[in-house]
A = this chain, B = another copy of it.
Amino acid sequence: MRAEELKGHLDALLLAALEDGPRHGYAVIEYLRESTSGRLDLPTGTIYPALHRLEEAGLIAGSWSVVGGRRRRSYRLTESGVRELAGRRAGWREFAAVVEAALEAKPWPSPA
């Protein structure tokens, strides 16, 4: 699946990916791929700028480290990020409900 239609929802997924502890960008990609059974495979050109945006917004905090000779930037949720994630989750449910209402506002909603 392309992340094209993710517009406006990617941030929520990134925050969720950091909810159970810090991860670096590459690991976030793998996490999202695995947690969606391979259906969501984001390109690095999508992930890294998005993480920078979230850091700039103060929702996540990054720190450099070196593991196995490779430098990593690990991100953790800030307090603000935790609140934002909660709001995003609620926002998603609201959004999904609205789309489903509009999409399925049909006299035959369920198979007889």
Chain A positions within 8 Å of B, measured between CB atoms, are 1, 4-9, 12-13, 16-17, 19-20, 32, 35-37, 39-40, 89, 91-92, 94-99, 101-108
Specify the chain B residue showing the minimal Cβ separation from A20. B107
- Is A12's CB under 8 angstroms from B92's CB? no
Residue from the list B36, B91, B101, B108 in contact with A101, Cβ < 8 A:
B36
6 contacts between A and B (CB under 8 A): A1-B94, A6-B99, A20-B108, A32-B102, A40-B102, A92-B103
The residue of chain B having its C-beta at the shortest distance from the C-beta of A12 within the complex is B103
The 7 closest A-B pairs by CB, nearest first: A5-B8, A35-B105, A7-B7, A13-B102, A36-B101, A36-B98, A39-B98
